Amino acid sequence: MKEKITREEVRHVADLARLDLNPDEEVQMTQQLNAILDYMEKLNEVDTSQVEPTTHAVERANVFREDVVGPSLQRDSALANAPQTDGVHFVVPKVI
């Protein structure tokens, strides 16, 4: 059976997701992802021609907040989980 996802595509997706896979992992991921996609194929057996596409389990729309300011975090709390800070900012490796 034709592969649903190639090793090349796995490498590309891994790259987009900033994952560093070694060659063994690439092979393993390709196999596993193909197995998952094959399994999902089963869904195609269901006739959905009469069903509207949906992105939510519940049929709701228009959930809003009013434009009223509420409390924000103390800066110390906001920065608490950061790997590196200067007490004011999150500090990250330089990007341009």
Q: How far is the CB of 43 from other proteins (least distance, A)?
A: 17
Q: How far is the CB of 1 from other proteins (least distance, A)?
A: 25
List residues near other proteins by CB under 8 A: 12, 16, 18, 55-56, 58, 60-73, 75, 78-79, 84, 86, 88-96
Locus of tokens 């194929």: 41
Closer residue to other proteins in complex, CB, 45/76: 76
Closer residue to other proteins in complex, CB, 1/57: 57
* Closest-CA residue to 38 (of 5, 73, 84, 8): 5
Asked whether the beta carbons of 70 and 62 are under 8 A apart, the reply is no
Closer residue to other proteins in complex, CB, 18/42: 18
Q: Is 14 exposed, middle or buried (0-12, 13-18, 19+ CB in 10 A)?
A: middle
Q: How far is the CB of 87 from other proteins (least distance, A)?
A: 10
Asked whether the beta carbons of 10 and 26 are under 8 A apart, the reply is yes
